[in-house]
């Protein structure tokens, strides 16, 4: 008799866990059904690809944020970082036309610089938090302001535009497709898979979780806490750089309004996906769904007149709060 009880308990637990993990997927499914019932064009191939491409920026950045948050940190600077990297990248490429022409070489050097800048900016955030022993919130609040003002300064208060000679060469990175999916979506998929493997299957990922759960325990268990934490910010910077590389050919320009509030969208995607804000538990798969959910809300509002498009932020905010509320509430305990 006790055996059957144990089995019952286990199957119940597995089911409950699934329900929690499946929450974001369910939410996305419901959103899709709502979208389709409002306008059948929602599920058209064109719209789906558009949705995925738009999710790619936030999604890629949010994968990086998943690492930072899982290890107990936070990075508020990602939006400004993306803006300043776009700006510097455009300046560098424009200046290289004279030397290397408007070909692939210039673009590749530009992309290389972008990655170096991203990794460098992340490293600065990381070192200031770990070696400087300043709270991540304060460090990244500071760098957020610095990067945002730098891009304004470089653009002299206006807009930095990519030379028209280069746009033709660079354009395909955002607009072309490979095997039916736009290139940004492929990058997104690549980052998501790599992120999942690193977080769930490598020692580094395990260490991130350990540090986020309890830094002292990690330290006493021979984890190099400072190095791991710094690395999470470097990964975040790298992801921002990747997102920038596919973002620049979209508009071919950067200004003070580039990437505004991306940090909040990235953090929101991570939290909707089930990662715990104070660290110790991270889910890359959830983050991907979170990014898709956020983009889908905006997309649905574009399709319908029922709710004004200006209320996009309101809808996103409601979804974030509801998602976290659903995750926190322990339905099984309440009934006892």
Each residue 257-286 as x (binds another protein by CB under 8 A) or -, in order, gives -----------------------xx-----
Q: Which two tokens stand for residue 213?
A: 């759960």
The reply to whether 167 sits near another protein by the rule CB under 8 A is no
Q: What are the two backbone dihedrals, phi and then psi, of residue 101, each rounded to the nearest 5 degrees?
A: 80, -175
Q: Which of 201, 261, 277, 308 binds another protein (CB under 8 A)?
A: 201
How many residues touch another protein under the rule CB under 8 A: the total is 27
Show the site string, 4-33: x = touches another protein by CB under 8 A, - = not: -xx-xx---x--------------------
180 vs 333, beta carbon nearer another protein:
333
DSSP per residue, 134-154: --HHHHHHHHHHHHHHHHHHH
Distance separating alpha carbons of residues 264 and 261, to the nearest angstrom: 5
User: And the tokens for 234?
Assistant: 């470097």
Please give the Cα distance from 242 to 78 (Å, whole number): 12
Residue 38 burial (C-beta neighbours within 10 Å; 0-12, 13-18, 19+): middle
Told to check if 71 binds another protein by CB under 8 A, we report no
Alpha-carbon distance 237 to 119, whole Å?
5
Q: Choose, by CB under 8 A, the member of 177, 219, 251, 264 that binds another protein.
A: 219
For residue 73, which of 117, 143, 134 has the smallest C-alpha distance?
134
- To another protein, the closest distance from the beta carbon of 335 in angstroms equals 12
Interacting residue with another protein among 58, 218, 240, 269 (CB under 8 A): 218
Which neighbouring-strand residues pair with 253? 161
Stretch that binds another protein, among 54-62, 69-77, 166-174, 197-205 (CB under 8 A): 197-205
Determine the Cα–Cα distance for residues 47 and 335; give it in Å rounded to an integer. 43
> Pick from 189, 206, 264, 315: which binds another protein (CB under 8 A)?
206
Binding region for another protein (CB under 8 A): 2, 5-6, 8-9, 13, 197, 201-203, 206-207, 209-210, 213-214, 216-224, 280-281
């Amino acid at each position: 008799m006790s055996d059957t009880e144990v089995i019952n308990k286990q199957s119940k637990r597995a089911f409950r866990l699934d329900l929690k993990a499946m929450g974001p997927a369910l939410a996305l499914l419901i959103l899709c059904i709502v979208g389709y019932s409002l306008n059948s064009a929602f599920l058209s191939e064109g719209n789906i690809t558009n949705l995925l491409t738009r999710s790619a920026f936030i999604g890629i950045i949010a994968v990086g944020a998943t690492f930072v948050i899982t290890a107990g940190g936070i990075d508020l600077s990602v939006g400004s970082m993306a803006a300043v990297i776009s700006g510097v990248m455009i300046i560098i490429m424009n200046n290289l036309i004279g030397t290397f022409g408007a070909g692939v070489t210039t673009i590749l050097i530009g992309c290389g610089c972008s990655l170096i800048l991203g990794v460098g900016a992340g490293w600065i955030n990381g070192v200031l938090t770990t070696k400087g022993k300043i709270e991540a919130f304060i460090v990244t609040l500071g760098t957020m302001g610095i990067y945002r003002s730098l891009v304004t300064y470089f653009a002299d208060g206006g807009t930095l535009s990519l030379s028209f000679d280069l746009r033709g060469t660079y354009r395909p990175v955002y607009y072309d497709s490979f095997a039916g999916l736009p290139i940004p979506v492929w990058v997104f998929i690549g980052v998501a898979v790599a992120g999942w493997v690193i977080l769930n299957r490598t020692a580094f990922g395990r260490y991130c979780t350990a540090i986020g759960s309890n830094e002292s325990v990690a330290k006493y268990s021979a984890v190099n806490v400072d190095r791991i934490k710094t690395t999470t910010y470097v990964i975040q910077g790298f992801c921002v750089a990747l997102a920038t590389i596919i973002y620049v050919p979209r508009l071919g320009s950067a200004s003070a309004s580039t990437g505004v509030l991306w940090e909040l969208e990235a953090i929101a995607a991570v939290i909707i996906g089930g990662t715990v804000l104070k660290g110790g538990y991270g889910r890359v798969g959830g983050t991907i769904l979170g990014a898709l959910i956020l983009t889908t809300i905006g997309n649905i509002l574009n399709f319908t007149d029922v709710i004004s498009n200006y209320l996009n932020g309101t809808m996103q905010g409601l979804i974030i709060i509801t998602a976290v509320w659903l995750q926190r509430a322990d339905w099984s305990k309440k009934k006892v």
